[in-house]
Amino acid sequence: MAPEKKDGSGHLGPESTMPDPPSIHPSFIQVAKPYIFEQTIQNCIAAMGVNPLREEALRLQGVTWIDNVRKALHLPIRTFNTAVVYYHKFRLVHPDNEYNYMDAAAAALFTACKIEDTLKKSREIVCAAYNLKLSPSEHMAPDDPVFEVHARGIIGLERLMLEASGFDFRTRHPQKVLVKLARNYGLTLKSEVSNVSYRISLDLYRTFAPIKQTTSTMAFSCLELAGRLLDQRLEAVESGVDYGQWKTSREEIMETLFDLLELYTHQRGATSVGPHFPADRFLTVRIPLNQEAEAQRYPRHTQWTDQNKDERASNGSRGIKDFGMPDKGGLVHPLTPVSANGERPRVGERGRDGAVRFMLDPECADSEKSRVAEYFKVEMEEYEVEE
């Protein structure tokens, strides 16, 4: 019933006011990032408070788990590539105390099987991993009830895998470009350099290079490193005369080479190529590369900017002013979604204050943010006047 005035009429008085409508949230926008540079990776690790040594150990263990299960299920290399990329991106968003690395690796492989059209049920992945610890006579079947709970957990992690990647289903496979380059420089697929470079391309996924570099950069790096390790150097590859044609640069290739050499120097036993060469061989290969980098003044990481200036996101769009700056006692995670008014979701409350929308086109996201920001700009000005 409508409130009555003192005179008994049923009309609202001048003192009666309608309640203010709830504030409109612009929603958070997360743009898919096909490339995530080293600076962003380090900021993600720092923001989550993850120990770098523990991060490296879990990264290598997870990739090894994916590789072993992939071989047991006879999955192609492209599924391995995609699974490891999803594993890396997931770990840059979720700290290691929120999940078991084997569960994350299984969910990444399960997601990759769908993307690469090499479908495997979650039960089959869990069963294959379990059977790796048993003798062939003790192998269990995927439909065994013991795998039910674990298989459901992997399906639940699949959504987090997709969110961490920004629902970006674009994949890159350097092995295809590597085969083209080997043929282009007169190498047969059965040659020793081709064989070693192919195995190096698999070891490369134990580093963060696959989410930082293009396929051509990775292929050139693997081919050059294989020639240097075998003392069969390819001058045409090292000279860089074809870098422009493949849209790469010497700086990016040097960064990838150093990533590989650090992997082989510190984690030689956890790689495919490392045990086949003595430890001092990798140091011998690195010396002339260090001299070249020093002489040409190549930076250790190509895409690295001053934190005090406006950052640029890894997909080419403008960053946010509070990127990497302190926020309530911690660091702002650079991969969290951002609203049109620059707001970020609070830790542990993602999706509670506003919806998170995923977009592939950074220009479209920037255009929408600028239009929506005009509304909130007026609202903020009114708020400041009232204060």
What's the pLDDT tens digit per position in 231-265? 999 999 999 899 999 999 999 999 999 999 999 99
State the pLDDT at residue 377. Answer: 66
pTM: 0.83
Residue whose C-alpha is closest to residue 195's, from 233, 223, 171: 223
Could you give the CA distance from residue 210 to residue 387 in angstroms, rounded to a whole number? Answer: 50
E strand or H helix that includes residue 59: helix 52-72
State the pLDDT at residue 370. Answer: 80
Could you give the CA distance from residue 298 to residue 304 in angstroms, rounded to a whole number? Answer: 12
Could you give the CA distance from residue 233 to residue 227 in angstroms, rounded to a whole number? Answer: 4
Question: Per residue in 76-93, pLDDT tens?
Answer: 999 999 999 999 999 999
E strand or H helix that includes residue 338: strand 338-339
Q: Exposed (0-12), middle (13-18) or buried (19+): which is 52, by Cβ within 10 Å?
A: exposed
State the pLDDT at residue 21. Answer: 55
DSSP string, 66-88: HHHHHHHTT--HHHHHHHHHHHH
Q: Which domains does the chain have, with CATH numbers?
A: 27-165 (1.10.472.10), 174-296 (1.10.472)
- Answer whether 364's CB lies under 8 Å from 332's CB: no
Could you give the CA distance from residue 80 to residue 109 in angstroms, rounded to a whole number? Answer: 7
Residue whose C-alpha is closest to residue 90's, from 115, 112, 114: 112
Could you give the CA distance from residue 277 to residue 285 in angstroms, rounded to a whole number? Answer: 12
State the pLDDT at residue 220. Answer: 97
State the pLDDT at residue 17. Answer: 66
Residue whose C-alpha is closest to residue 358's, from 83, 77, 152, 164: 164
Question: Per residue in 99-113, pLDDT tens?
Answer: 899 999 999 999 999
CB neighbours of 17 closer than 8 A, spacing ≥ 6?
none
State the pLDDT at residue 316. Answer: 38
Q: Which residues of 67-104 are buried (b: 16+ CB within 10 A; e: fewer)?
A: bebbeebebebbbbbbbbbbbbbbbbbbbbeebebbbb
Backbone phi and psi for residue 330, each to the nearest 5 degrees, phi listed first: -135, -175
Backbone phi and psi for residue 216, each to the nearest 5 degrees, phi listed first: -65, -40
- Intervals of the chain under pLDDT 70: 1-26, 307-330, 340-342, 346-354, 376-387
Q: For all residues of the chain together, what is the average pLDDT?
A: 84
Q: Which residues of 329-358 are buried (b: 16+ CB within 10 A; e: fewer)?
A: eebbbbbbbbbbeebbbeeeebeeebebeb
